Amino acid sequence: MDDNKKQEVLNISNLSKYYFSYSSLFNVRKNIIRAVDNISFKVYEGDIFSIIGETGCGKSTLSKLILGLTNKTSGEILYKGDILNYNLKKLNLRKKIQIVFQDPYYSLNPKKKIYKIVSLPAIKNKMIKKKDALHYSIQMLKKVGLDENYVFKFPHELSGGQRQRISIARSLSVNPEILVLDEPVSALDVSVSAQILNLLLDLHEKDNLTYIFITHDLRLVRHLADKVCVMYGGKIMEISPVDRFFKGPAHPYSKVLLESILAYGPKNILQFADADGNINNINHINAGIQKNNRGCVYYNLCSRRQDKCMNNEPELKENEDYRINCFFPYNL
């Protein structure tokens, strides 16, 4: 469906999160880590909006900002037009956005039985009374394909896939409209991850949920997502409909990312050559991001860079249905 006809559920504008660190014990100069740096985008109802990018580019920080799990440095997040600031009065808004974490082994309280884990968010949000916890969690477990026998078990008695189903049930227990999925299957083996993905697709259809789907796996993006948002160094490089993206991405960094999976193998994966042909590892890339913060964040590695890119920061340009943060993109 055309974006103009869909309802906008999230509107993120100029959002930033900076961390400060000292390079050594006696160093008084602070280093700034621009984990999320002045980014803006909209998410529409029912979309599967995927966020991709290499490790450390700011995907999880962005999801924590959306969920109010960390304070923003600046910017604004609107949920259906209301500012999300996560004070107690806005608990009602908070429950509308839930998260499923990457690792089901660490995201469930090992001391609590499943029915307590699953019903707690609904009790805290005053949606159910404590006495209804058992009945409510059985209903939630059915939604994620587990039978009622699991309610009295502890997390350690379950497999990885079953635990991830419990995490999803816990998130669904407050009737959210948006689920943030931060690498929801990367800790699971291939067949179990396929089952969890099918479950997520089913729920997406039935409950008309909106997903923000964070992943490293471009094959999943191709299979599941409606939109692709590419991040690098805390910034958005490109937002594109998924078909368009896989026909040929516009941003030079997106092209490198895509080629790294098309030519999947030890030689290509996570080896990014800079514009002069030198292979960089992630640390060098991050060092590049720190040094070059006046111009384009991808300048040091870009094969299409020109003088203009060194001292000028490109802004995401709107081009019909896709946006590119580059002065010299491909395929426009």
Query: Binders of ligand ATP among 38-67, rule CB under 6 A?
Result: 55-61
| Contact call for residue 60 and Mg ion (CB under 5 A) | yes
163 within 8 A of 114, measured Cβ to Cβ:
no
| Nearest-approach distance from CB 214 to Mg ion, in angstroms | 7
Q: What 8-state DSSP symbol labels residue 279?
A: E
Q: Which stretch binds Mg ion (CB under 5 A): 52-60, 111-119, 230-238, 277-285?
A: 52-60
Nearest to 109 by CA among 99, 96, 118: 118
- Report in angstroms how near the CB of residue 56 gets to ligand ATP at its nearest: 4
Q: Which stretch binds Mg ion (CB under 5 A): 46-54, 59-67, 82-90, 134-142?
A: 59-67
Looking at beta carbons only, is 59 or 72 nearer to ligand ATP?
A: 59
Judge whether 228 and 65 are in contact, CB under 8 Å.
Answer: no
Q: Does 218 engage in binding with ligand ATP (CB under 6 A)?
A: no
18 is an interface residue for ligand ATP by CB under 6 A? no
* Closest to ligand ATP by CB, 177 or 238: 238
Number of residues that bind Mg ion (CB under 5 A): 1
- The sheet with strand 210-214 has its strands ordered as 97-100, 178-182, 210-214, 48-52, 227-232, 235-241, 322-324, 317-319
Instruction: Pick between residue 136 and residue 232 the one whose CB is nearest to ligand ATP.
Output: 232
- Other CB atoms within 10 Å distance of the CB of residue 94: 20
Report the nearest approach of ligand ATP to the CB of residue 267 (Å). Answer: 21
**Least CB distance to Mg ion at residue 216 (A):** 9
Nearest-angstrom CA–CA distance, 324 and 6: 22
The piece of 32-40, 55-63, 106-114, 139-147 that touches Mg ion (CB under 5 A) is 55-63
How do strand 74-79 and strand 82-83 relate by DSSP bridges? antiparallel
Q: Which does 55 bind (CB under 5 to 8 A by kind): ligand ATP, Mg ion, none?
A: ligand ATP
DSSP conformation letters of 183-223: STTTTS-HHHHHHHHHHHHHHHHHHT-EEEEE-S-HHHHHH
292 binds Mg ion (CB under 5 A): no
- Chain position whose Cβ is nearest to Mg ion: 60
Please pick, from the candidates 9, 10, 15, 35, the single residue that binds ligand ATP as defined by CB under 6 A.
Answer: 35
Report, in Å, the least distance between residue 183 CB and Mg ion: 7
C-alpha 139/C-alpha 304 separation (Å) is: 54
Q: Which of 15, 33, 228, 258 binds ligand ATP (CB under 6 A)?
A: 33
Q: Which is nearer to Mg ion, 18 or 246 (CB)?
A: 18
CB atoms under 10 Å from CB of 87, counted, come to 9
**Smaller CB distance to Mg ion: residue 60 or 119?**
60
- Using DSSP, state whether 316 is helix, strand or coil: coil
Answer for the pair 194, 224: CB distance below 8 angstroms, yes or no: no
Name which of ligand ATP, Mg ion, none residue 105 binds, using a CB cut-off of 5 to 8 Å depending on partner kind. Answer: none
Residue from 180, 254, 171 nearest 12 by CA: 180
Token pair listed for 102: 């990457």
Tokens describing residue 167: 């995490």
Single out the segment in contact with Mg ion by CB under 5 A; choices: 54-62, 92-100, 199-207, 297-305: 54-62
- Is 215 near Mg ion (CB under 5 A)? no
Residues in the chain: 332
Please report, as ranges, the residues that interact with ligand ATP according to CB under 6 A: 19, 33, 35, 55-61
